[in-house]
Amino acid sequence: MPVSSRANRLDGLNVVVAAGHPFGSAGARRALAQAKRIGARAIAVIPFLWQGSPTSADITRGSDMPDAELRAAIRDARALGLTVMVKPHVWVPQSWAGAIAMRSEEDWLRWFANYRAALVPIVRVAAEEHAEALAVGTELVLTSRRPEWLDVIAAARAAYAGTLVYFAHNTDEAEAVAFWGRLDAVGVTLYPSLGADQDRAFRRSVMREIADRLDALAARTDKPILVGEIGLRSAQGAAAKPWESAEERAAPADPRLQAKVLADWLGALDRPAIHGVLIWRWLTDPAAGGPQDSDFTVQHKPAEGVLMCFWTTACARTRTNE
């Protein structure tokens, strides 16, 4: 399959649009070139779907990334030699995609019909622009045991010939998904609690256990594993809740912590069954980040050096474990 050789691993970054720097702009092109320079082989482009609450069936395509901008993102990344994954996310105000759950069977049918209708135009653009991979969903924890996913996957497969994946939230959901056989890879995002910032032995034990479970899942499904997200804020206390946003908790910047945790993750996930790891996140603003930034982006922080060590021959791999 397209991601099976090491040379074609999907190692890289989730790229999120920053205000004032839409895909297709000069700034976004510079940000993509910066990602390429630190060794990224792949990027995930993230158009958003939107619904007003976790129980609303009225899910629609967001206005953040119209087709023209999605096309520009794919074209500009591919022009740099980057592999492109189109990875839609669902935005739920004051909540998250993993909380989505309908109150009735009728609402479930309506939600899936609306989800499919919002997804298919994205799928068509991905196909027309030759994006190498496409996610049919991301972290939709309470939906993933529903049989309607088979229809969603079939609709995507009918329009798109590249690598299809779904990204489960953590290993618990990934182990419960029943439709991996319809997809080309097992996808997972990884945000477990990693304990106290300074407790490296604990976090490495958590990471090893997760990597072992992913190995077992790859063997059971006979599919490669794609890790769609690892990351944490560059902020004090971020290891305990790697999923926590800057809006949820103010904290002093700690870019060294972010770099150390990502180095440990990349070391733990360096296994034959895992065919790519995408970091959360990179912004289309080429000046984003910096040492005083306490949010998720790795730009202009020590984490860039960690990624370069793993993705290129610019420095010895052993330095990431210092």
Give the tens place of pLDDT for each residue, 75-129.
Answer: 999 999 999 999 999 999 999 999 999 999 999 999 999 999 999 999 999 999 9
How many angstroms separate the CA atoms of 275 and 309, rounded? Answer: 18
pLDDT at 286 over 60: yes
Q: Residue 4 — pLDDT band, cuts 50, 70, 90?
A: very low
Per-residue model confidence as pLDDT tens digits over 27-74: 999 999 999 999 999 999 999 999 999 999 999 999 999 999 999 999
Residue 3: pLDDT band with limits 50, 70, 90? very low
Provide the domain limits for residue 55.
Answer: 6-321
Provide the pLDDT for residue 313: 76
Which residues neighbour 12 within 8 Å (Cβ) at sequence distance 6 or greater? 35, 40, 41, 42, 43, 44, 82, 83, 276, 278, 279
Instruction: State the Cα–Cα distance between residues 116 and 151, nearest whole angstrom.
Output: 8
User: Which among 60, 78, 81 has a CA at the least distance from the CA of 70?
Assistant: 78
Give the tens place of pLDDT for each residue, 192-202: 999 999 999 99
Averaged pLDDT, 166-173: 98
CA-CA distance, 273 to 256, in Å (whole number)? Answer: 29
Residues 6+ apart with CB under 8 A from 209: none
Nearest one of 100, 84, 96, 86 to 36, comparing CA atoms: 84
Residue indicated by tokens 């994954």? 85
Residue 319, pLDDT score: 43
Q: Taking the model in full, what pTM does it have? A: 0.95
Distance CA 83, CA 132 (A): 6
* 109 CB-near residues (< 8 Å, 6+ apart): 148
Number of structural domains, the chain?
1
* Residues 83 and 132: beta-carbon distance below 8 Å: yes
Domain assignment of residue 1, yes or no: no
Q: Domain holding 227: CATH number?
A: 3.20.20.80
Structure confidence at residue 7 (pLDDT): 60
pLDDT of res. 192: 98
Average pLDDT on 156-171 reads 98
243 within some domain? yes
Say what the pLDDT of residue 238 is.
98
Domain contains 129: yes
**pLDDT given for residue 8 in this prediction:** 72
Q: What is the pLDDT of residue 1?
A: 35
**Confidence class for position 6, pLDDT limits 50, 70, 90:** low
Stretch 278-306: mean pLDDT: 98
| Mean pLDDT of all residues belonging to the chain | 95
Picking from 62, 149, 54, 134, the residue whose alpha carbon sits closest to that of residue 97 is 54
**pLDDT at residue 316 is higher than 70:** no
Rounded Cα gap, residues 87 and 67, in angstroms:
14
- CA 322 – CA 319 distance, rounded (Å): 5
Is it the case that residue 321 has pLDDT exceeding 50? no
